[in-house]
Amino acid sequence: MTEHDAAAGPAADLMVVAENVHKSFGRLEVLRGIDLEVRRGEVMCVVGPSGSGKSTFLRCVNHLEKINAGRLWVDGQLMGYRQKGGRLHELRDTQVAEQRRGIGMVFQNFNLFPHMTVLGNVMEAPVQVKRERRADVREHALRLLDRVGLADKAAAYPRQLSGGQQQRVAIARALAMRPELMLFDEPTSALDPELVGEVLDVMKDLARDGMTMIVVTHEMGFAREVGDSLVFMDGGVVVESGPPREVLGSPRHERTQAFLSKVL
Ligand SMILES: Nc1ncnc2c1ncn2[C@@H]1O[C@H](COP(=O)(O)OP(=O)(O)OP(=O)(O)O)[C@@H](O)[C@H]1O
Ligand SMILES: [Mg+2]
């Protein structure tokens, strides 16, 4: 891997660059030197055993967790820091929040606001955070709900929806901020099997539309069909990565083989 000049930043076609990213919680070293690159428009799927650091890595990408060493660029910006002369200076919370706006995140458990309607959920961030005009936000939100197949649920409350519908609202809500990058952390793991497909279809549609995505998932069919790259993580490192068909079809490392033999 090439060294990126911290001042100039990575090449313009790279949306995410992780260089030797380390993260510890107390004495537990969870990420032990992650190197990876995600091109603009790429869909990267991340798989690996429980506890391997997948969620932690996603949380580092949008700086919900501060890394202990290494560098992380998103959209050409060093996450959480500003380079001045040869030194790094930590950004203020408001500046980090600004960086984070370009990144949408979707979690396993939807995390919708229970007291707000579906439309209210999708409108909340652009109205409160971006202070956009209500009428414009509303129009955009309705378009997004239509896109995820939920135009008729705008007035419903989350508790009135199935898990698959709630997750599609969560995706619409993330898209309402017009992100450049979408992070998905096991978006279908909490769903009944018959609801998984409708959420994956929405993600497929996003991918076709050119969205850059990092998707932590156990859905190997999705990874094979939609993923441009597949990363296998174990023990806080990237053990193996490459085109999904290659990694899934002929894994090179023993640990990858052992993991895949359990999930495929
Ligand atoms: N805030 C935290 N404080 C302390 N330890 C943490 C914290 N967050 C995660 N960990 C630990 O870091 C390790 C990696 O966790 P992480 O959630 O990133 O794994 P994962 O690969 O996403 O696993 P899963 O497939 O179960 O979601 C685990 O041992 C976990 O207990
Ligand atoms: Mg996780």
- How do residues 47-103 score in pLDDT, each as one tens digit? 999 999 999 999 999 999 999 999 999 999 999 998 888 788 889 999 999 999 999
Please check the confidence at residue 158 and state whether its pLDDT lies above 70: yes
Q: For the chain, what percent of residues have pLDDT higher than 70?
A: 97
Q: How many whole angstroms from 185 Cα to the centroid of ligand 2?
A: 7
Q: Give, using CA atoms, the residue closest to atom 31 of ligand 1.
A: 51
Distance 53 CA to ligand 1 centre (A): 6
Identify the pLDDT of residue 1: 42
| Ligand found nearest the CA of 46 | 1
Segment 158-186 shows an average pLDDT of 98
- CB of 52 closer than 6 angstroms to any ligand 1 atom: yes
What are the structure tokens assigned to 4, written together? 């990126």
**Cα–Cα dist 83/6, whole Å:** 7
- Measured CA to CA, the distance from residue 234 to residue 17 in angstroms comes to 19
Burial of 15 (0-12, 13-18, 19+ CB in 10 A): buried
Over range 129-141, report the average pLDDT: 94
The Cα–Cα gap between 200 and 105 comes to 15
For β-strands 212-216 and 181-185, DSSP reports them as parallel
Q: Whose CA is nearest to atom 24 of ligand 1?
A: 50
Is residue 55 in contact with ligand 1, taking CB distance under 6 Å? yes
Q: What angle do CA 59, 31, 110 make, to 5 degrees?
A: 25
d(CA 203, CA 119): 20
pTM of the full predicted structure? Answer: 0.95
- Cβ–ligand 1 distance for 60 under 6 Å, the answer no
Atom of ligand 1 nearest to the CA of 57: 18
The answer, yes or no, to whether any atom of ligand 1 lies below 6 A from the CB of 27, is no
Query: HSE (CB half, 13 Å, CA atoms) of 41?
Result: 5
Pocket test for ligand 1, best of 24, 28, 57, 233 (most atoms within 8 A of CB): 28
What is the whole-number distance in angstroms between the Cα of residue 216 and the centre of ligand 2? Answer: 8
Q: Is the CB of 217 inside a 6 Å radius of any atom of ligand 1?
A: no
Kindly report the CA angle at 79 between 77 and 80, in degrees rounded to 5?
125
Residue 229, burial from CB neighbour count under 10 angstroms (0-12, 13-18, 19+): buried
- CA 233 vs CA 11, 85, 147, 217, 253: distances in Å: 25, 35, 33, 12, 11
Q: Is the pLDDT of residue 229 over 90?
A: yes
The DSSP secondary structure of the chain, one letter per residue, reads -PPPPTTT-S-TTEEEEEEEEEEEETTEEEEEEEEEEEETT-EEEEE--TTSSHHHHHHHHTTSS--SEEEEEETTEETTEEEETTEEEEPPHHHHHHHHTTEEEE-TT----TTS-HHHHHHHHHHHTS---HHHHHHHHHHHHHHTT-GGGTT--GGGS-HHHHHHHHHHHHHTT--SEEEEESTTTTS-HHHHHHHHHHHHHHHHTT-EEEEE-S-HHHHHHH-SEEEEEETTEEEEEE-HHHHHHS--SHHHHHHHHHH-
The protein residue with its alpha carbon nearest to ligand 1, atom 7, reads 25
- C-beta atoms surrounding 217 within 10 Å: 23
Does ligand 1 come within 6 angstroms of the Cβ of 212? no
pLDDT at 145 over 60: yes
Instruction: Indicate whether residue 25 lines ligand 1 (CB < 6 A).
Output: yes
Q: Which ligand is nearest to the CA of 236?
A: 1
- Residue 50 Cβ < 6 Å to ligand 1: yes
Q: Ligand 1 in contact with 53 (CB < 6 A)?
A: yes
Report whether residue 51 contacts ligand 1, using a CB cutoff of 6 Å: yes
